[in-house]
């Protein structure tokens, strides 16, 4: 039986950490190990880690950011497979068994699975991510600059040998965070990716009211484009140096382009919305029209919704932006 490690990277999430650890320890796959890496927490996280005793392995390090935690974990792992579980997320009891069953069916470097979206209390919102599954050969599209649909960090299981062809990655500055970017997209340059079409865990969104354009828990809207562009440039360097693979100079990703879309037109004047659509929407529209992962129906629907941002009635425009940007806003609209 192949062994797998669930690595929980934590920084100041004392309110959620015990739940994440319990979910990892509660896996029905017997060859599951649990490592908790605390990245210099200043709250009560380390006291919580101590309560689990020898049931887990712990690494207590100085604060260096998520990339530093991933680099350290990948260096010390002794199993062939790993799941990086964010300390505010959870795995369902059969998650590891399911991904290991998939790994056994082929030469996969990554098995990804859906995550149910939870609110800050851990209650289900009825939404899940991602909504689109990638093709097994998503690495070919990645070479052309298309970032394939993937769940957040906690929804991915990896071959450790594949990760070690990408990591370690630089840790300084703005690149302290976003380690899952290199794991998710880097391993797809090494081999094939499989997708489980059901939820095997929960993804906690702390602002889960659905009333804003914000969905992810990490970068702010105005910082995300700069951060992701830097990560792509670093991944290009890694791919060239370690894999002898040349990535495209730029990339296409609807998730990033809708961030630019939202920051430009949300709560903006009618004149500003029209100006952006006429002058600056080219990349946004391209990631819709040329998207290799979307059906024609989804492309047309997104284009029609986006066009509603040009109506004079600003409450409708703002609702449409929230609907496009935040899956929780869609659930809320359907429930009315």
Reading phi first (left if > 0) and then psi (alpha if -120 to 50, else beta), residue 244 is in left
* Inter-axis angle of helices 254-265 and 282-289, nearest 10: 140
Domains and CATH numbers, the chain: 4-243 (3.90.550.10), 258-335 (no CATH)
pLDDT of residue 218: 46
The series of mean pLDDT values per 10 residues for the chain, 336 residues long, is: 96 97 98 98 98 97 96 97 98 98 96 94 91 86 94 97 97 88 97 96 79 54 73 96 96 91 93 96 97 95 96 94 81 51
Contact 48, 40 (CB under 8 A): no
Q: Tokens representing 100? A: 């290991």
Contact 221, 249 (CB under 8 A): no
Residue 84 bridge partners (DSSP)? 7
* Sequence-distant (≥ 6) Cβ neighbours of residue 279 within 8 angstroms: none
pLDDT of residue 235: 97
Rounded CA-CA distance 153/129 in Å is 11
pLDDT of residue 132: 87
Which alpha helices (DSSP H) does 66-115 contain, by range? 66-76, 95-103
Whether cis (ω within 30° of 0) applies to the bond prior to 277 is: no
Rounded CA-CA distance 304/293 in Å is 18
pLDDT of residue 200: 98
pLDDT of residue 334: 47
pTM of the model: 0.92
């Amino acid at each position: 039986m192949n062994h797998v490690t669930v690595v929980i990277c934590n920084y100041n999430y004392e309110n959620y950490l015990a739940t994440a650890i319990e979910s990892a320890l509660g896996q029905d796959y017997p060859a599951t190990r649990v490592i908790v890496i605390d990245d210099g927490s200043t709250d009560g996280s380390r006291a919580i880690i101590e309560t689990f005793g020898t049931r887990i392995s712990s690494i207590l390090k100085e604060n260096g950011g998520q990339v530093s935690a991933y680099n350290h974990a990948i260096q010390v792992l002794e199993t062939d497979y790993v799941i990086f579980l964010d300390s505010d997320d959870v795995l369902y009891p059969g998650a590891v068994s399911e991904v290991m069953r998939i790994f056994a069916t082929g030469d996969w470097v990554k098995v990804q699975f859906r995550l149910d979206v939870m609110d800050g209390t851990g209650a289900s919102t009825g939404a899940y991510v991602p909504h689109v599954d990638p093709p097994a050969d998503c690495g070919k599209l990645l070479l052309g600059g298309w970032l394939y649909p993937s769940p957040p960090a906690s929804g991915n299981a990896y071959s450790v040998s594949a990760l070690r062809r990408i990591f370690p990655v630089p840790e300084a500055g703005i690149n302290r965070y976003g380690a899952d970017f290199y794991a998710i997209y880097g391993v797809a340059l090494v081999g094939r990716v499989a997708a489980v079409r059901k939820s095997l865990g929960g993804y906690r969104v702390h602002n889960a009211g659905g009333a804003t354009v914000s969905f992810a828990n990490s970068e702010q809207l105005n910082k995300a484009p700069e951060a992701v562009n830097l990560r792509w440039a670093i991944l290009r360097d890694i791919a060239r140096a370690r894999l002898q693979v040349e990535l495209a100079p730029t990339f296409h990703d609807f998730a990033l382009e809708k961030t630019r879309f939202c920051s430009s037109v949300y709560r903006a004047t009618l004149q500003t919305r029209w100006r952006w659509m006429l002058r600056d929407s080219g990349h946004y529209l391209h990631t819709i029209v040329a998207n290799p992962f979307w059906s024609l129906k989804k492309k047309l629907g997104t284009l029609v919704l986006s066009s509603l941002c040009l109506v004079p009635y600003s409450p409708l425009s703002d609702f449409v932006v929230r609907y496009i940007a935040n899956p929780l806003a869609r659930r809320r609209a359907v429930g009315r």
